[in-house]
């Protein structure tokens, strides 16, 4: 992780030297969001290779940012934040709030990876607000150029702790179809827009089970950063 130092005694610069290697902050954020297993971290980050993630985790462990915990009985390995990383939370909160207030939505949301959006969205679905039966929700992304996998399915089974995410047709009857784009959906999740606004602009279209469609604002929670005051919204688009 060592790089050419800035040559300054400024504490901010020293912190940057420690955290600046690519993916370091993103890994910490994914751990902050609840992922502890290697594959879950990798899926949450989307574009990181397994080799690079493995290297970063070893480097971060050596720096005391994370702890590697192995369950000898099961062979599973969890990566946990140390106190040093937990102490970063106020700074990371402040950075996220600054971004919401000062970075234009089109820049902040542009280039988002669809698979990463959907993987993160699993945590945002409130199962208690869905019917007490199997529910299948299909998303179709109309991005230009189209993403590698333009279709995703959430399959929610009764009693499940989290929806199952599929990028291939699970062979189940679909209850609700969602037509959107990565920017439109990300804008809703991050508080840069709303479901109603995206539907009115024809950037998001719902068809299928009327009850599921009407209650989407209840079963889909937004990011913790969506409530930041002074957030810069997505620009108006012709309806």
**DSSP result, 80-133:** EE-HHHHTTHHHHHHHHHHHHHHS-HHHHHTT--HHHHHHHHGGGB-GGGS-SS
Say whether pLDDT at 4 is over 80: no
Distance CA 89, CA 81 (A): 11
Q: In the numeric block, which tokens belong to residue 195?
A: 């479901």
pLDDT, position 20: 86
Say whether pLDDT at 2 is over 60: no
Q: What mean pLDDT comes out for the span 195-214? A: 96
pLDDT, position 176: 98
Mean pLDDT of the chain: 93
Question: Bridge-partner residues for 136, per DSSP?
Answer: 155
% of the chain at pLDDT higher than 90? 83
pLDDT, position 221: 95
Q: Provide, for the chain, the percentages of residues in helix, strand and coil under a 3-state DSSP scheme, each rounded to the nearest 5.
A: 45, 15, 40
The residue that leads in pLDDT, 1 or 170, is: 170
Q: In the numeric block, which tokens belong to residue 90?
A: 């106020």
Say whether pLDDT at 54 is over 50: yes
Say whether pLDDT at 61 is over 60: yes
> Token match 């529910």: residue?
135
**Total number of residues shown for the chain:** 239
What the chain holds in terms of domains, given with CATH numbers, is 13-87 (1.10.10.10), 108-227 (3.30.1050.10)
Residues 147-203: pLDDT tens digits? Answer: 999 999 999 999 899 999 999 999 999 999 999 999 999 999 999 999 999 999 999
Which pTM does this prediction carry?
0.88
pLDDT, position 237: 62
Given pLDDT bands bounded at 50, 70 and 90, which one contains residue 1? very low
Given pLDDT bands bounded at 50, 70 and 90, which one contains residue 17? confident
> Token match 């720096």: residue?
63
Q: Which of 210, 200, 197, 119 is nearest to 162 (CA)?
A: 119
Say whether pLDDT at 32 is over 90: yes
Residues 62-114: pLDDT tens digits? Answer: 999 999 999 999 999 999 999 999 999 999 999 999 999 999 999 999 888 99
Say whether pLDDT at 238 is over 70: no
Burial (0-12, 13-18, 19+ Cβ within 10 Å), 42: buried
pLDDT, position 77: 97
Contact yes or no for 143/182 (Cβ under 8 A): yes
């Amino acid at each position: 992780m060592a790089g050419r130092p800035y040559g300054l005694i400024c504490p901010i610069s020293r912190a940057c030297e420690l955290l600046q290697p690519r993916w370091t902050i993103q890994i910490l954020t994914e751990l902050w969001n609840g992922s502890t297993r290697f594959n879950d971290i990798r899926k949450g980050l989307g574009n990181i290779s397994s080799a690079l993630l493995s290297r970063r985790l070893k480097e971060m462990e050596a720096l005391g940012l994370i702890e590697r915990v192995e369950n000898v009985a099961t062979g599973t390995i969890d990566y946990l934040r140390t106190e040093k990383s937990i102490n970063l939370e106020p700074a990371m909160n402040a950075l996220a709030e600054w971004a919401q207030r000062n970075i234009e939505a089109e820049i902040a949301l542009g280039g988002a990876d669809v698979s990463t959006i959907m993987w993160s969205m699993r945590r945002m679905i409130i199962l208690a607000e869905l019917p007490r039966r199997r529910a299948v929700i299909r998303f179709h992304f109309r991005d230009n150029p189209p993403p590698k996998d333009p279709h995703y399915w959430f399959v929610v089974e009764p009693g499940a702790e989290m929806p199952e995410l599929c990028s291939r047709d699970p062979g189940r009857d679909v209850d609700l179809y969602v037509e959107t784009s990565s920017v439109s959906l990300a804008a809703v999740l991050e508080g840069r827009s709303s479901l109603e606004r995206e539907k009115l602009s024809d950037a998001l279209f719902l068809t299928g089970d009327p009850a599921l469609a009407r209650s989407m604002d209840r079963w889909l929670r937004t990011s913790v950063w969506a409530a930041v005051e002074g957030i810069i919204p997505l620009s108006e688009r012709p309806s």
